[in-house]
Structure 1
Amino acid sequence: MLLPVMLFKKIYCFLIAHSYFVVKILRAVITTFIILVLSFFMVRASGNPAEIYLGDNATPKMVEYFNKKWGLDEPLYVQFLTYFSSVISGDMGDSLIKNRPVSEIITERIPATLSLMVPAAAISMFLGIILGMIAALHHKKITDGGILLASIIGFSLPNFFFGVILIYFFSVVLGLLPSSGNDSFRHYIMPLIAIITADVAVFTRFTRAALIDIFEKHYITNFRALGIKEKRILFLQALPNASIALLTISGFYIGSLVAGAIVTETIFSWPGLGSLLIASVKARDMPLVQGLILLFGISIVAANLIIDFLYGVIDPRIRKRAS
């Protein structure tokens, strides 16, 4: 009797001591479950999957056979419980069009998306933070104005705008670069430029705003009064204190990388997850659409969970306030 009590006490003390992390994990699990529920019901909100997939010329027997084959003749709650248990066990079902496991199809496309989005993210974050630092150091000067104007333009125009312009000039007019595929390094140039041009603007604006806000604090004024150079203040005080704000935007950006590939991959016919989603929607491939929506949602939840953990590590005061 004593052993279970002691074990329970140890578990309880552990949960209390790490309540910040426990709460974040529970919140991530609940959010993932909500995404799973939404992905299931959103696909079915457009109507009967059998009628949508088979078309107007489908006979009642064809609809009946389709429903029975894919379990659509069961009550909705039974369908959901079946889908939920399958997802938990790692089975997202089979594609209606390709008649292959959804997880297998998605896994094949992940490398193509990551090979494009990871370098784009790394370059965008690096350039955006550097430009934001330069703008903050030259606040209210010509350099700051030029960077701010460029970032506003880049922020306002969507990825597909840059993509279309690039394809027109470098593929159609000049014939220098291929407009589709991912077979060689040349195929990466235009998609990367299209993504980076828009995303650098986001990081530039957020970095600039965060640093300018810190530069206006009283303790920064005291450092200036001591004769400490502006660049030294930037690296030793402003940048570390802006890390939480930069982590926030970085977490959201990294989490939405996979979903953000949809537009770019469609424009450049890139064989990744984004183009796969568009193709599956057009083909009315319900299981594949569900699997992709779930994957996009989980990637955002996972990224935010990692960022929340980093918050607690970087600034222990956040953990204490949460506890």
Structure 2
Amino acid sequence: MSETKLREEATSPKSLAPKLGKSPWGGQWGAFLARRLGRLGISIVVLVTVSFLMIRLIPGDPVRNALGIMASQDVVEARREALGLNLPLWEQYLRFWQGLFTGNLGDSFTLQMPVTTVIGQRLPATLEIAFMALVFMLACAIPIGMIAAALTRGGRRRGLELGYTGVSGFIAVIPEFLIGVGLIYVFAVQFHLLPVAGRSGPDSYILPVLALSIGGIAGVSRIVRAEALTVLGQDYIRTARAKRMSSWRIYMRHALPNLLTSSLTIGGLVLGGLIAGTVLVEFIFSWPGLGMTIVASIKDKDFPLAQGVIIVYGLMVLLVTLIVDILLVLLDPRSALKEN
């Protein structure tokens, strides 16, 4: 075998990639999953504890709020005893954990329904706009970032680069609720093109999805551009250009696949942010999801409902992060060893 052939094999990506073992449940894979699941368990304990204490630190009497100011003190005390709110805080905490393990999150004070029923009815509406916003965001951000990288690579078009980074940076920091208010004013109030609130038809999804995704498109496209500039500076891209390959083939066949790992990471992180961002967006657009529910439950000091919704939000973000970590290791096994 020639010296050139040996050098190529020694420096090839395949030879440099550490092996995690044939079985996905053993060796380095087992250590990786153990670390991630351990962190997930700790995060869940913190999430449950914080949600339990946070709601109870809000001033006011939830039972009095639910029964009204005209209810007698005897009725209020009887209701507090029935709900277990007269018990010591530590005992309420243990009962709360017991309810979580048995799937019983209690009944809503204000809606007079099981918390699990309320969450089951309103969770789909939240997931719909979150995932639609994610798909729309990535579908726009990745091409915009790649086009910006292609036009400004190598220090070209300095004015375009400054304009793009300035505008995208400004849009990325605008809160979702401000974007939502602006969209309502333009498309619903001024031109009467789209409904201002509710979940009444396909056109009612447009404004909430735009409010959730516009800032993300600007921010994610900046990251994609930075990653694309790095990829376009690699030797194999220069070799492809030297062979006079078409720009379309270079970008789509060689550059884009190498952006998938970073795009997956960004997408997972953004999805967690989108889920959290639905709270204010749903409130602005009167969207019947968990965002509207959590705002109303905190306002009314509806302990069971507020705690249940907060935990669901937190679990969704934690599970998305875990899934992204696992997918990244499947795409690039070397990432499992970076923490060792």
Aligned residue in 1 for 2:310: 293
Q: What is the letter of the counterpart of residue 80 of structure 1?
A: Y
Aligned partners of 1:32, 1:162: CA distance in 2, in Å?
Answer: 32
**2:111 alignment partner AA:** K
Match of 2:172 in 1: 155
How far 1:227 moved relative to its partner?
5.4
Decide which of 18, 31, 39 is 2:43's aligned counterpart: 31
Structure 2 unaligned segments of length 5 or more: list them: 1-24
**Structure 1 partner of 2:118:** 105
**2:332 matched residue in structure 1:** 315
Equivalent of 2:81 in 64, 68, 78? 68
Whether the 8 Å contact between 1:92 and 1:102 is mirrored in structure 2 is yes
Q: CA deviation at 1:245?
A: 2.7
Question: SS of the counterpart of 2:106?
Answer: coil
What's 1:170 paired with? 187
Give the counterpart of 1:192 among 197, 209, 213.
Answer: 209
What is the distance in 1 between the residues matched to 2:184 and 2:62?
Answer: 39
**Residue type of the partner of 1:53?**
N
For 2:21, the equivalent position in structure 1 comes to none
Query: Do structure 1's residue 268 and structure 2's residue 281 form an aligned pair?
Result: no
> By how many angstroms is 1:135 displaced?
0.8
Structure 1 CA distance for aligned equivalents of residues 83 and 319 of structure 2: 30
What is the rounded CA distance, in whole Å, between the counterparts of 1:56 and 1:35 in structure 2? 33
The aligned residue for residue 250 of structure 1 is 267
1:283 alignment partner, one of 280, 284, 300: 300
Q: Secondary structure at the match of 1:180?
A: coil
Match of 2:54 in 1: 42
Q: In the superposition, relative to structure 1, how do residues 57 and 15 fare at CA in structure 2: closer, same or farther (>3 Å)? A: farther
CA distance in 2 between partners of 1:237 and 1:117 (Å): 30
Is 2:155 aligned against 1:138?
A: no
The more displaced of 268-277 and 172-181 is: 172-181
SS at match of 1:256: helix
The Cα offsets for residues 21-63 of structure 1, whole Å up to 9 and x where unpaired, read as 1211121122112101111111112246447736888765355
Q: Once superposed, what is the RMSD of the aligned Cα atoms?
A: 2.7
Point out the more displaced range, 26-35 or 291-300: 26-35
TM (norm. structure 2) is 0.81
Q: What is the TM-score of this pair, normalised by structure 1?
A: 0.85
* 85, 91, 94: which one aligns with 2:104: 91
Deviations 1:282-309 (A, max 9, x none): 2221111101110110001000000110
* d(CA) in 2 for partners of 1:195, 1:313: 29
Deviations along 1:77-113, whole A, 9 cap, x unmatched? 1111110111122111110001111110011012222
Q: Could you tell me whether the CA contact under 8 Å between 1:214 and 1:238 is conserved in 2?
A: yes
Q: Deviations over 1:156-181 (max 9, x none)?
A: 22222222222223322333322111
Task: Could you tell me which runs of 5 or more consecutive residues in structure 1 were left unpaired when the two chains were aligned.
Answer: 1-12
Residues 59 and 310 (structure 1), Cα distance of their counterparts in 2 relative to 1, 3 Å cut: same
How has the CA–CA distance of structure 1 residues 235 and 290 changed in structure 2, closer, same or farther, with 3 Å as cutoff? Answer: same
Deviations along 1:192-239, one digit per CA (max 9) or x if unpaired, are 232232221122111112222333456655665665565544445544
| CA 221–175 in structure 1, closer or farther in 2 if over 3 Å, else same | closer
Equivalent pairs counted in the alignment come to 311
2:55–2:303 CA contact under 8 A, matched in 1: yes
Structure 1 SS opposite 2:198: coil
Counterpart amino acid of residue 33 in structure 1: V
CA contact (8 A) 1:94 1:100 kept: yes
Q: Secondary structure at the match of 1:242?
A: helix
Give the counterpart letter for 1:83 in structure 2.
F
Aligned partners of 1:222 and 1:311: how far apart in 2? 28
Give yes or no for contact 2:141–2:221 (8 Å, CA) kept in 1. Answer: yes
Percentage of matched positions with identical amino acids:
33
Letter in 1 for 2:125: A
Letter in 2 for 1:166: L
Change (3 A) 1:17 1:208: closer
